[in-house]
Amino acid sequence: MTRRLAGVFLAFFTGSILLQGAARADRFPARVAPPTQDSSPGRETYKLPDGTRVSLRFAQRVSPAEAKVDDPVRLRVAANVRVQGLVVIPEGAEATGRVVEVKQPHSLGRGSLLAVRVEEVRSVTGGILPLRAMEKYRGGGQGKMVGKVFIPPLAGNTDLTPLDAVGSLLWPLNLTQLASKGDAKNVEEGTRLVGRVQGDVLLDRAAIERVQPQPPSPNVRVTVFRPDDNLVMYRPWVEVNGVRQAHLARRRYFVLDLEPGPQAFSASGQKPVRFDFVAGEHYFVKVHYRIGATGLMAALWGITLADRAEGEDEVGQAHAVESKDRPAKRLPLLGQLMQ
């Protein structure tokens, strides 16, 4: 009798899992593998590798109060995508996503949920290239303080401490919170996200070369910025090709017009980092603080090439500094702190 009951329970449990998996497959259907060739037979081709990064922005506002599952979402490319020096996906090209999940704010303090899947983008020749990415945008949950214990929302994302876990047992006593709803979060036009090329794509090199956009300038525009790192006292010298340009406090930036080709950037005399720039492009170089092995006084600075959309957003919240040529004299760390 015991074995028979165990068998019935196992069959019921297995069937429940299968039914849940089938329901999830209906909500998020598997994507059919797209064609991997964007060229004519017999033409010289080269490959756009799987996983190539495509910087995108929303070209419309999407609200969980209005969106429905399977609604198309208009996106646009935020920066040129190059392969072997050629523009394959141009800045401003149209891209498409789709709403795959929507949840409205609920009682119990649960916020909204909007899930968008990135699907495809137009290449410089007008062809369709498959993309992959999934972004989820959640509204805030509502929490309350009861005495000195935080009562988190039942479905929130709050990281619980042991004290929070004990406090959550008192949740049913908070009748006001039971009736309140979480927040709805709209995805505003211009919000950035990142897509990845889905699978290797073969491109017609001759067709790509025929439609290459002309660079608007023979030079390169470079914006050097420092994000808000909360280290007020540190202001490194930023040098380009060994020439001092400016002190760079947090949330500050400056702009340079440089010649195309390799350029070397360094901060406060540290080892230079080199980037190879292409004419007519706008690059964003990020200077950020890194704690060294000896702690804060190590004054280590990282220099990286930032994503175009990230750079635009950071610079939009920063203030410009005047670019100044300075002698190549090195200052000790104390001098850096005091200036």
Residue type, 185: K
Q: For 273-299, what is each residue's pLDDT tens digit?
A: 999 999 889 999 999 887 655 555 555
Q: What is the C-alpha separation between 63 and 76, in angstroms, rounded?
A: 18
Q: pTM surpassing 0.75?
A: no
Query: Token digits for 325?
Result: 């040529």
Q: What does 128-149 look like in DSSP terms, one character per residue? A: EEEEEEEEEEEPPPP-EEETTE
CA distance 122 to 262: 30
Residue 208 buriedness (CB in 10 A; 0-12 / 13-18 / 19+): buried
> For the stretch 226-247, what's the b/e string if a residue is b when 16 or more beta carbons lie within 10 angstroms of its beta carbon?
bbeeeeeebbbbbbbeeebbbb
Question: Phi, psi (5° rounding) for residue 8?
Answer: -65, -45
Over residues 44-97, the pLDDT tens digits come to 788 999 999 999 999 999 999 899 999 999 999 999 999 988 999 999 999 999
| pLDDT in the model for residue 145 | 37
Q: What residue type is assigned to position 145 of the chain? A: M
Selected residue with higher pLDDT from 152 and 49: 49
Q: How far is CA 313 from CA 2, 59, 181, in A?
A: 64, 15, 31
Give the CA distances from residue 325 to residues 132, 243, 244, in Å, rounded to whole numbers and listed in that order.
45, 7, 5
Show the domains of the chain with their CATH numbers: 33-140+180-209 (2.40.128.260), 144-177 (no CATH), 220-338 (no CATH)
